[in-house]
Amino acid sequence: MFRPESDEDVQFRGTVADWLDQNIPASLRHVTFWPLPHDCMPWYKMLSEKGWIAPHWPMRYGGMNASPVRQVILMEEMARAGAPDIPSQGLNHIGPILIKCGTESQRMRHLPLIRSGDAVWCQGYSEPGAGSDLASLRTKAVVEDGDLVIGGHKIWTTWGHHADWMFALVRTTACIPRQQGITFVLIDMKTPGISCRPIRTIAGDHEFSEVFLDDVRVPLENMVGEIDRGWAVATALLGEERLRIGSPAIALKALERLRRMVRAMPANSRHDELLADAEIEIETLIASYLSVAESLDQGDIVDSSYLKILATETVQKILDHLQEVAGEAGPIRHAVQTEFGLLDYSEMFLQSRRLTIYGGSNEVQRTIVATKAVGLPTARVRNER
């Protein structure tokens, strides 16, 4: 760590490190897959009771209102101590959006349950044929007797088969441009007409699912914003999502895995060079994240697309290094307990392939950077017969 810290931040880091060392359950330390929600929610609740579950939320809603520096300190110490990943759609996505765009009734109903861990959320954005091109979504909703009646099909829904609630985009009016006529809605996953089917990924886990909605009735009071005007809410949430994906949290976990692998291998200067390269990449990412987060705290308008690119590709680069260090052992699919701790040869490497796709693929993010940040003209494709 090459960044100077104030005396107060140093003290905070020590407090966090000591508490994590004493409180993370042994069964959840340095696990390679995301634990299932019912397995990790006791840990989630411990963080909530400590007051550290939502460092980026305002204090009046149960957060820490932590500075970006302290948020990074938490990420660094969580990675070092081997804290497990926890369901974050509520904390990082819908929670901040309800704070910004929701009604007071929606905030009072949902934020305490997110903070306490009594409600797990999932995101109903992507559909077959509507991923990064989200505006082409086809899940429809019609107003009937004070409800939205929804029919359609969502896919790549993280923890959809374990979630209590979904925030979703539905088409309420066929419009040109397509970004109009979309409504943002909160859906209780226990509502009749909802079914889920888990999706097995290349890493062998079942983090994603398909969600089918068949005449699902949702009260109009569950809309965030106005009917047909959900695109602004959706894009605000995507900006928040890209900022959180663009944080160093996942890269720090990857770095910890690389460090363990280097320690476990015979002494080799090339391994030390790879580790040094990874540490420099991490510091670059942290500096970029702090710059964006501090600008947002000051009320500046900042596009986080480049940060999403940097963070996800940093994770993949570090895990490429890990594969190189592992050598012939690289294809081992399951983590192995050794005298150096739990060694993850390929699980996180395989999981990381998805990072550059979700939240808007990195190809799309580069187009956003090119057109909005750099000011290049939008490419126009002409169909020729």
Query: Are the C-beta atoms of residues 124 and 159 closer than 8 Å to each other?
Result: no
Residue 374 has pLDDT above 80, yes or no: no
Q: Which pair of structure tokens corresponds to residue 182?
A: 């979309």
pLDDT value of residue 382: 36
The distance in angstroms from the start CA to the end CA of the chain is 58
Residue 343 has pLDDT above 80, yes or no: yes
Query: Of 76, 77, 240, 241, which residue is the catalytic one?
Result: 241
pLDDT digits 0-9 by tens, 31-57? 887 888 889 999 999 999 999 999 999
Q: Which pair of structure tokens corresponds to residue 295?
A: 């600008």
Q: Is 241 a known active-site residue?
A: yes
Query: How far apart, in whole angstroms, are the C-alpha atoms of residue 302 and residue 186?
Result: 27
Averaged over 357-368, what is the pLDDT? 86
Residue 213 has pLDDT above 60, yes or no: yes
Residue 102 has pLDDT above 80, yes or no: yes
Phi, psi of 325 (to 5 degrees): -65, -40
Averaged over 124-136, what is the pLDDT? 85
What pTM does this model have? 0.90
pLDDT digits 0-9 by tens, 257-308? 999 999 888 876 678 899 999 999 999 999 999 999 888 888 777 778 889 9
The domains located in the chain, with CATH, are 7-86 (no CATH), 121-231 (2.40.110.10), 246-373 (1.20.140.10)
pLDDT value of residue 342: 82
Residue 381 has pLDDT above 60, yes or no: no
Residue 114 has pLDDT above 90, yes or no: yes
Residues forming a β-bridge with 151: 140
Task: Report in angstroms the alpha-carbon separations of 382 from 134, 370, 385.
Answer: 21, 20, 10
Please give the biggest Cα pair distance in the chain.
71
Instruction: Count other Cβ atoms within 10 Å, centred on residue 126.
Output: 20
Average pLDDT, the chain: 90
pLDDT value of residue 211: 97
Averaged over 12-25, what is the pLDDT? 96
pLDDT digits 0-9 by tens, 139-188? 999 999 999 999 999 999 998 999 999 999 999 998 878 888 999 999 99
Q: Which amino acid is at 167?
A: F
Q: Which pair of structure tokens corresponds to residue 289?
A: 């994240």
Residue 373 has pLDDT above 50, yes or no: yes
